[in-house]
Amino acid sequence: MKRKIKSVVEILLQDPTNLDELSFPRLVKKVYLYLNRDLNQIINDPSKPESELINEAIIAIGFDLNAYGRGVLIMYFCSHCGGGLGLRVCYGCGSEFKDDGWRSGCNTSLPQKVVAFLQENGHQFGIDPEVARGKEHAIWRKLK
């Protein structure tokens, strides 16, 4: 039985340790997540860290955007550590870069299923993504 898709999220993996000529992080990969929950509900759910809620809602992960009749939401993550990319800094590894005016800021870490998918497909992180996940959990515990 197929679960109904409620959100599609485009994950843009950028490398803030490898900046282009304008000091913006270079794009490394795009990954698409198909979720059984609305991303806005997840973002506003304080019951667990955001990456865990997204992880639980994942129906499928892929490199191609399959036909979907609604808009795609975009999140930016660090390809070096798996941390969320803010406007000028990675919340995982602390790498700084220039604001390109596109990123809205993401302070969560990559969900574990996405990390596993990327690693199974040859991506190598420079820093273990568990470090970024640990930082996210520490912040969540303080806010709880």
In the chain, where the domains are located: 7-143
Dist CA 130 CA 110 (whole Å): 9
Q: What average pLDDT does this structure show over 111-116?
A: 98
Residues of the chain above pLDDT 70, percent: 95
Going by pLDDT thresholds of 50, 70 and 90, the confidence category of residue 103 is confident
Residue 93 in this model has a pLDDT that exceeds 90: yes
- Half-sphere exposure for 137 (CA within 13 Å, toward CB): 8
Q: Could you write out the DSSP letters of every residue in 45-73?
A: -TTS-HHHHHHHHEEEEESS----SSPPE
Can you give the pTM of this predicted structure?
0.92
Quick one: tokens of 106? Answer: 């993401």
Residue with the bigger pLDDT between 128 and 102: it is: 128
pLDDT for res 67: 66
pLDDT (tens digit, 9 = 90+) per residue, 52-84? 999 999 999 999 887 665 668 999 999 999 999
Residues of the chain above pLDDT 90, percent: 81
Our measurement of the distance from residue 11's CA atom to the centroid of its chain's CA atoms, rounded to an integer in Å, reads 6
